[in-house]
Amino acid sequence: MHGSAAPRGALHDPKRQLIVRHAREHFVREGYAATRIEPIAREAGVSTATLYTLFRSKAALFTAVIDDAAEEFTRQMARVRAVEGDARSTLTSFADAYAAFMGDPFVRSVFRLVVAERPRFQAVARRFFEKGRTEFGATLIGVIVRLSKAGALRPIEHPSWAAGHLMGMVEHPVFFVPLVTGDEVRVRRTNAEVVAEAVETFLARYGA
């Protein structure tokens, strides 16, 4: 079991948060196996003994780092909302915010870390991915259902499938291509161009 098992009050302890922040930098830069505890403790201004009091093992610290990143993503996702308006403007506002989030290099670096360590931390990785899917997917499904009921989109039997279509058209160029190539290959289209094409394709398929 890899959980940090921190008491509820300890989750917001400034010392704990400082350790997690420095640990995240090390894990992202060096990977799990190469990361050492001593430099993290030194940079956070605590003793190794204090670090191990808060996190009983490197595995527990890694779990805390990923869970903290997921919570940070949730706070960012909370700002991904669609404006009220016609179908095009509403879907574009959502897709713009989604592309900005998925195109963030920090987001990619954490996803890359989770993917790399998934065999060792399967439960942690599953929790991380499911959280993101639920947060974004639920928001867009709600938008699609509302637009469909208003007649701005045709009746859609499976709103979750439709949401997946739009998100997938945004994810592939702004997130997955740089993710799997280590940022060495970048799509030439801007986020705005990716979004405009995705929304146009979506409306051609689902527009009223």
Per-residue pLDDT band for 46 (boundaries 50, 70, 90) equals: very high
Q: Measure Cα distances from 196 to 91, 94, 132, 189 in Å.
A: 10, 12, 23, 11
- Residue 46, phi then psi, degrees to nearest 5: -130, 165
From the CB of residue 147, how many other CB atoms can be counted at a distance below 10 Å? 23
Q: Measure Cα distances from 37 to 32, 60, 66 in Å.
A: 11, 12, 16
Model confidence pLDDT, tens digit, residues 155-204: 999 999 999 999 999 988 888 777 777 665 566 788 999 999 999 999 99
Task: Compute the CA torsion angle 87, 135, 193, 184 (nearest 10 deg).
Answer: -170
Model confidence pLDDT, tens digit, residues 86-129: 999 999 988 988 888 888 777 777 878 888 888 888 888 777 77
Query: Residue 91 is encoded by which pair of tokens?
Result: 């879907």
Return d(Cα 194, Cα 173) in angstroms, integer. Answer: 8
> 87: closest CA among 171, 143, 167, 156?
143
pLDDT of residue 54: 95
- Helix and strand numbers (H, E) in the chain are 10, 0
> 97: closest CA among 203, 177, 180, 199?
199
Kindly report the pTM of this predicted structure: 0.71
